[in-house]
Structure 1
Amino acid sequence: MVNHWGALHAYGELLTRQPRPLAVLDVPDEGCAQALAWRVRILRRLAPVTVLAPEGACAAELLEAGAANVLDRTMPIEELAARLTADQRWAARDTSQDSRSQEQNPIPPRPLARQASQKVLLALVLADPRPWCCHELTCLLGSAEQPLTRAALRARMPRLEPHLGRLGLALRRTGRWGRFSYMVVPSTGPTSAVLGPLGAPRRAAHRFLPR
């Protein structure tokens, strides 16, 4: 699958498919390489990243940013395919180890949301416990040429709260002066209850019941 930067369905695939796919970041020329390390650092939070870099790109900088591999996109296609296949196998083996560790500490099931943007945002904030900077989210959710506006992001984030509330979670925003961070934390408010087969209530903090 080939997708443009900012494609919501592509992010959904990276976040939900198991084993987690390899993200191949194709940079066709030096004109597209602006802030490439920054983009690698953000995309790495979704999946392992291999960069197809143009001639002259600094491989060391991209590896320091978290790239699993940096390949010269001008190499012969047979060699490029073989190296990408090897990277894909490595990513699948690495994420299978992560999935085994998650079986011991299962992640609460993700709530359903109707809008694609809400689904992706929910998956993003639930997949990584570290805070998300507003600049990371606007870069990720915008196009390659233009990030999402911070006003649009501020409008979208509160809409996640009802879905997180079903899991006993809440969205915390911190920061000021035009730089905010968003993080999922346990909710301190009241939680709903689901009646069991004998009428005894059980907490629904870590369970989502689809309609």
Structure 2
Amino acid sequence: MVNPWGTLHAYGELLTRRPRPLAVLDVPDEGCAHELGRRVGILRRLAPVTVLAPEGTCPAALLEAGATNVLARSMPIEELAARLMADQRWVAKDKAHTSRSQEQDPLPRHLLPQQVSQRVLLSLILADPEPWCCHDLTRLLGSAEQPLTRAALRARMPRLDPHLGRLGLALRRTGRWGRFSYMVIPSAGLMYRHA
């Protein structure tokens, strides 16, 4: 699948496919180089990431941000394909060594919201136990050129409450002055155990 940044369907696939696939972040030019490390770090929370980078990109910074590999977009297509296949094999082999407890099954469909944006947002916050910064969520859920507005994100988050409640979970928002973090915590009554 080839999808632009921010495509909800693509995030849904990364979050629900087992084992998790390799995400290839194709960066056509240096226009977003200043933000590339941040995007790699965000996408890495969903799946292993290989970056196809333009000439002049510093691979060390992207590897430090969590990239599995950084490949030059300008390399011959045969070599690029072979390296991507090698990355995919390495990720599959690495996943074979991951314990079952570290790889959660996706939620049953009847527990997921009907609306795609809510379903992906719920899956995102359940996929990683670490808090999600509002800036990371707006970057992830917006387009490559324009992040989702924080006002739109603030409006979407409370809509997850009924779905989280059915799972025996609640959403905790912490922070102030324009920087909030969202984290899922257990609520008073546990109705469903996600294992």
- Give the TM-score band, short-chain normalised: over 0.9
Higher helix share: 2
SS of the aligned residue for 1:98 comes to coil
Q: How does 1:158-197 map to 2 (within 5 A)?
A: 158-188=158-188, 191=189
Contact 2:16 2:106 in 1 (8 A): no
Greater relative contact order, per chain length (Cα 8 Å cut-off, separation 6+): 2
SS of the aligned residue for 2:120 comes to helix
**Whose Rg is larger?**
1
Q: How does 1:36-185 map to 2 (within 5 A)?
A: 36-98=36-98, 100-102=100-102, 109=107, 111-185=111-185
Contact 1:6 1:140 in 2 (8 A): yes
Q: CA deviation at 1:93?
A: 2.1
SS of the aligned residue for 1:205 comes to coil
Contact 1:53 1:71 in 2 (8 A): yes
Q: CA deviation at 1:205?
A: 3.3
TM-score by length of 1: 0.86
Alignment: residue pair count: 192
Q: CA deviation at 1:101?
A: 3.4
Distance 1:96 1:161 in 2: 34
Counterpart of 2:180, as a letter, is: F
TM-score by length of 2: 0.93
Distance 2:181 2:7 in 1: 22
Counterpart of 1:204, as a letter, is: M
- Name the Cα RMSD after superposition: 1.6
Q: Corresponding residue for 1:205?
A: 192
Quickly say closer, same or farther: Cα 1:3–1:107, change in 2 above 3 A.
closer
Contact 1:125 1:183 in 2 (8 A): yes
Unpaired runs of 5+ residues, structure 1, are: 192-202
SS of the aligned residue for 2:97 comes to helix
Distance 1:12 1:22 in 2: 14
Contact 1:169 1:205 in 2 (8 A): no
Quickly say closer, same or farther: Cα 1:108–1:140, change in 2 above 3 A.
closer
SS of the aligned residue for 2:170 comes to strand
